[in-house]
Amino acid sequence: MILIADGGSTKTTWCLVDAHATRSFFHTEGYNPEFIGTAGIIASLQQSLPATLATAEITEVYYYGASVVTPLQVATVTDAMQAVFPQARVFVGHDLLAAARALLGRQPGFAAILGTGTNSCVYDGERIAHNVDSLGYFLGDEGSGAFIGKALLRDYLRGDMPASLEAEFRATYGLERDAILDRLYNQPFPNRFIASFAKFAYDHHHVSYCRQLVVEAFELFFKNIIAKYPAYQSHTFNCVGSVGYNFRDALTQVATAHGMTVGKIIRSPIDDLVSYHLAAAS
């Protein structure tokens, strides 16, 4: 049996493929090695995996995850997977490679992620050929859920949000300045906390303030990241992630304005990623 995982910073989507190529899906939390170590991943998996999953019978694990870039980060996740699935051959790669394989298969092109965080690349059909660093949620990640959430929180705390929305924001979340800053600076996974507020923008996308905030986030995504790729307009724009998918109308508007034809925009890469691996095995 084979396990294939698409791991974001917030959530990991897993697909179990049995000997008959039947697919079964389940979810656990996300495992970003910038915020969690091997022991934490093991503990979470042991608690979160389906009770019916025979971990000793898994022969292959393909795990693609956020911030799995450096040898140390790869080792952090690999060691956890090997401990939980002791009989499996384990491959650990970056979630950007998963996005490219899901969106483009073995064809070269451009692929992006717009979810909790942001990433993008030019893909040569086999590997990531060029990547402009998004710099993470502290310094960059323009267009991401964290970027949108940060803008909402900043406007809320500074009184720059329209009064009616500010009242609704306060009623929805019940958070004031000290509680927000405590979550950001003293609690784990601040990126998830910030990104969670992007849902407010989606729920109020009909309000001009929210739509403009999202459009501006995507404008900065293109200006500060996408435009740095040589001849970027020669590629179609392909994207995975909940933010790109939920705000695809605004994203299409901005991409078109920047001279890119929009190709494939999907919420999750997992179905296409599984197909990629099954085709490779056949």
- Percentage of the chain lying above the pLDDT 90 cut: 71
Determine which helix (DSSP H) or strand (DSSP E) holds 239, and give its type and residue range.
strand 237-240
pTM of the full structure: 0.84
User: Radius of gyration over alpha carbons of the chain, in Å?
Assistant: 19
CA dihedral 45, 51, 52, 57 (to 10 degrees): 40
Query: Per-residue pLDDT averaged across 107-117, rounded?
Result: 93
Measure the CA–CA gap between 138 and 91, rounded to whole angstroms: 29
At residue 277, the pLDDT reads 87
Contacts (Cβ under 8 Å, ≥6 apart) of 116:
8, 9, 10, 30, 66, 144, 145, 146, 191, 192, 195, 243
Out of 10-14, 174-178, 253-257, the most confident range is: 253-257
Query: Per-residue pLDDT averaged across 126-144, rounded?
Result: 90
Q: Which domains does the chain have, with CATH numbers?
A: 2-99+270-281 (3.30.420.40)
**CA–CA–CA angle 258, 259, 261 (5° rounding):** 115
Rounded to whole angstroms, what are the CA distances from 124 to 103, 128, 216, 226, 235?
12, 6, 30, 17, 12
